[in-house]
Structure 1
Amino acid sequence: MTTLLETRYRTVLRLLPAYYRREREEEMVETYLWDVDRDLQDQSRPTVGEVASIAALAVRCRLGAPGAPRRYALLGSVVRLFALSALLLQAATAVVEPVLQLTWAFTHGASGRQMFLTEFTGRSTTDTVAAVLTRTLPLLWPVAYFALLHDHRRLARWAALGAALPSLWPLFRVIAPAGDGMPPGLPWYDTSAALLAWLPALALCAAYHRDAPEARLPGGSPGLVFLAACVVTGGSLVLLPGVADLVWAPATGFVVGALGWLLWRARGTDRTSPGAGLALAALGLLLLAVRVAALYPWLHVPGAGAILGGGLGQAAALALLTVALAVVGGRDLARR
C-alpha cells in the first residue's frame, strides 16, 4: 500500500526528466523511505533540503548530465555558451567603462575630478555605499570570466553573482524610494539591465555543474579574446562619444563579435561547439531588449538626434544579427 510520504516523494521526483525517472525513481524512493518508520510516513513530508537537492539534480540532468538524451546535451551546450559569451561581454565592459571615466575625470582638471567625486559625496550613507558597490562589484565580472576558463567554477559562480548585485539597486529604488530627492530610475531599462546581468550569472551557476565539460573559447586564449573585446568596446566609446550611452559599448562588442563568428562560420569549418549560433542569438535578443529600453526615454528629448540615430542603427544591427544567428544555429543543430 502506497503511503502519503511515498506519494509526496514521487510528486517531487516529477521535477526530474522522464529518462532519469525511468532509470532511478524506484531506487530513489526506496532510499528516501529506508529509515522512516512506516507508521509515521502518513504524517511526514520531504525536507526542504531533499526538495532542493532534487531540483538541482533536475537542472543538471536537463543541461547535459552524463547519459542525457541528445536534446538535453544540446540544451546544456547552448546555455553554457550563452553564459560564457555574456560573461566576456560583461567583463570587457566592466573594465573599459571605469577606466575611460577615470581617465576623463583626471584629465579635465579640478572640475572633472569634482564631477566624478560628487557621485560619492553629499549623499545619504546608503546611497554612498550603494555608489561605491556599484562601481566596485562589477569588477568581479573579469574575475568570473578568467576563473571559469581556468575551471575554478565555484569562484566563477560567486564572482558572477556578486557582480550582478548592483543591477538590483535601481529596482529597489523604484520599489522603495529613498525620499532623498533623487529621481527614480527608468523601470523598463532597469529591469532589462538586471536581466542582462542575472540571466548569464544564473546560466553559469546552472549549466557549469560538476558533470559539465570545461569552458573553452572557440578560438584564441582567454587573455587575447578579452583584450580584443576591451579594444572593441573601448574604441566604440572613444571614437563615437556623441552617440554612446550605457548600452552602446556592450552592444557594439556583441555586433562585432557576432559578425566575426558568422564570417568564421561561413568559411566552412566545423569546429564550433554545438549550439553556438543559438547561444549568440539568445544573447543578441537580450541585448536588443536592453537597447530598445535605453533608447525609448530619448524619443522626446530635444537635441538627442545623434543618440537616437546611433541607437536605432545599433538596434537594427542587433535585430538582423539575432535573426541570422538563430537561422544559422538552427541549421547547425538540424545537420548535427
Structure 2
Amino acid sequence: MTTLLESRYRTVLRLLPAYYRREREEEMVETYLWDVDPDTQDQSRPTLGEVASIAALAVRSRLGAPGAPRRYVLLGSTVRLFALFAVLVQAAAAVANLVLELGWAIGRGGPGQHLFLSQFTDQGLLDGVVTAAQWTLPLLWTVAYFALLHNRRRLARASALLAALPTLWPLLGTLTGAMGAGDPTFATAFGLLAWLPALALCAAHHRDAPPARLPAGTPGLVFMTACVVMGVSIVVLPAAADLAWAPASCFVVGALGWLLWEARGGDGATPGGALALAALGLLILTVRVAALYPWLHVPEVPAAYLGGGLAQTGALALLTVAVAVVGRRDLVAAEPGLS
C-alpha cells in the first residue's frame, strides 16, 4: 500500500525528466523511505533539503548529464555556450570601457583626471561606494571567463554573480533615494543581459558537465579580439556609443565570423553553438531596442546616434535570425521529427 509520504516523494520526483525517473525513481524512493517509521509516513513530508537536492538534480539531468538523451545533451551544450559567450561579451565590455575612460581622463591631464575622480568623491558616501562598485565589480566578468575556461567552476560562478550585482542598482535606486533609476525598461533589459548568463553559468556548468572550451581560438586571443572590437566601435562612432553599442558591435562581428566559419565547413564537434549565439543575439537585441526606443520620439536627437542605433538594430536582427536558422540543424539532429 502506498503511503502518503511515498506519494509526496513521487510527486517531487516528477521534477526529474522522464528518462531519469525510468532508471532511478524506484531506487530513490526506497532510499528516501529506508529509515522512516512506516507508522509515521502518513504524517511526514519530504524535507526542504531533499526537495532542493531533487530540484538541483533535475537541472543537471536536463543540461547534459552523462547518459542523457540527445535533446538534453544539446540543451546542456547550448546553455553552457550561451553562458560562455555572454560572459566573454560582458568581460570585454567592462575592460574596454574602463581602458577608454581612463585613457580619456589621462589624455586631458589634470581637468580630465579631476572629472573622473569626481564620480567617486562628489556624490556623497553611498553614491560614491555604488559608483566604485559599478566600476570595479564588472571586471570580475574577466575573472569568471578565464576561471571557467580553466575549469575553476566555483570561482567562475562566484565572480559572475558578483559582477552582475551593479545592474540591480538602477532598479533599487528609487527605493533607496540615492540616485534615479533611469528608464526601467532599459534597466530591466540590461539586468537580464547580466543575470541570465550568470544564472546559466551556475546551472549548466555543474559538476557532471564537460569542461568549458571555446569552439575556436585560444581564451586570451579571443578575449583581446573582443576588447579591440568593442573599443574600436566606440572610438570610430562615439556619438552612437551607449551601453548597448559595444556589446552589440561585438556580437555582430562574432556572429558574422561564426557564419563564415560554418560556411567554410567549420568543425561541428561543438553542438549548440549557433543556438547559443541566437539566444545571446536575441538578448542583446532586446537591450539595443530598449536603449534606442525612448529616443525615437525625442526631437533633435543626434542623427549619428539614431542612425547608428537603427543600423545596428537591423544588423542584430538579421544575424540573430541567420544563426538561428543554422542552429536548427542541431535541433533536427537531436529531434529528427522536427525535419
- Structure 1 letter corresponding to 2:135: R
SS state at 1:41 partner? helix
Q: 1:301 to 1:99 in 2, by over 3 A?
A: farther
Please report how far the alpha carbon of residue 271 of structure 1 lies from its aligned counterpart in structure 2 after TM superposition. Answer: 3.2
Unaligned runs of 5+ in 2: 335-339
Q: 1:335 to 1:49 in 2, by over 3 A?
A: closer
Unaligned runs of 5+ in 1: none
- Spell out the pairing of 1:1-336 with structure 2 (5 A cutoff): 1-174=1-174, 176-178=175-177, 180=178, 182-299=179-296, 300-335=298-333
- Equivalent residues of 2:62, 2:76 under 8 A apart: yes
Please report how far the alpha carbon of residue 335 of structure 1 lies from its aligned counterpart in structure 2 after TM superposition. Answer: 4.7
- Cα distance per residue 1:198-233 (max 9 Å; x no partner): 111111111111111111111111011111111111
- Structure 1 letter corresponding to 2:156: A
Please report how far the alpha carbon of residue 115 of structure 1 lies from its aligned counterpart in structure 2 after TM superposition. Answer: 2.0
C-alpha separation in 1, matches of 2:26 and 2:171 = 45
SS state at 2:121 partner? coil
- Cα distance per residue 1:24-79 (max 9 Å; x no partner): 11111111111111222222211111111000000000000011111011110111
Please report how far the alpha carbon of residue 177 of structure 1 lies from its aligned counterpart in structure 2 after TM superposition. Answer: 4.5
C-alpha separation in 2, matches of 1:301 and 1:84 = 40
Please report how far the alpha carbon of residue 334 of structure 1 lies from its aligned counterpart in structure 2 after TM superposition. Answer: 2.1
Q: Aligned Cα RMSD in Å?
A: 1.3
> Which 4+ stretches in 1 moved above 6 angstroms?
none
Higher mean alpha-carbon deviation, 105-114 vs 31-40, is at: 105-114
C-alpha separation in 2, matches of 1:332 and 1:48 = 38
SS state at 1:120 partner? helix
C-alpha separation in 2, matches of 1:9 and 1:303 = 60
- Structure 1 letter corresponding to 2:128: T
C-alpha separation in 2, matches of 1:187 and 1:334 = 39
Q: 1:90 to 1:40 in 2, by over 3 A?
A: same
Please report how far the alpha carbon of residue 301 of structure 1 lies from its aligned counterpart in structure 2 after TM superposition. Answer: 4.6
Normalised by the size of structure 2, how large is the TM-score?
0.95
Q: How many residues align?
A: 333
- Structure 2 letter corresponding to 1:199: L
SS state at 1:118 partner? helix
C-alpha separation in 1, matches of 2:291 and 2:120 = 24
- Cα distance per residue 1:287-308 (max 9 Å; x no partner): 0000000112222152322111
- Cα distance per residue 1:220-259 (max 9 Å; x no partner): 1101111111111111111111211111111100100110
C-alpha separation in 1, matches of 2:232 and 2:326 = 28
C-alpha separation in 1, matches of 2:96 and 2:207 = 32
SS state at 2:270 partner? coil
Normalised by the size of structure 1, how large is the TM-score?
0.96
